[in-house]
Amino acid sequence: MSPSPKSRTWSVSRPERGSDAREGSAGESGEDDRPVIEFFVDRSLGRKHLAQALGDLGCTVHTMASVYGERVAQELNDEHWLADVGEHGWVVLMKDDAIRRRPAERDALSEAKVRAFCLTNAQLRASEQSARFVGNIERIQRQAEKPGPYIYGVYDGYIKRLWP
Find the CATH number of the domain harbouring 78: 3.40.50
1 lies in a domain? no
Q: Is the dihedral of CA 135, 95, 115, 49 positive or negative?
A: negative
107 lies in a domain? yes
5 lies in a domain? no
Residue 31 pLDDT: 52
All residues at 6 or more sequence positions from 154 whose CB lies less than 8 Å from its CB, including other chains: 117, 118, 119, 120, 132, 133, 136, 140
80 lies in a domain? yes
3 lies in a domain? no
52 lies in a domain? yes
Q: State how far the Cα of 2 lies from the Cα of 16, in Å rounded to an integer.
A: 18
45 lies in a domain? yes
Q: What is the domain count for the chain?
A: 1
Of residues 51, 55, 35, the one with CA closest to residue 43: 51
Which segments of the chain have a pLDDT < 70?
A: 1-34
The whole domain housing 128 covers 32-163
10 lies in a domain? no
Per-residue pLDDT tens for 72-114? 988 899 999 999 999 999 999 999 777 878 899 999 999 999 9
For the whole prediction, is pTM greater than 0.85? no
Q: State how far the Cα of 64 lies from the Cα of 46, in Å rounded to an integer.
A: 9
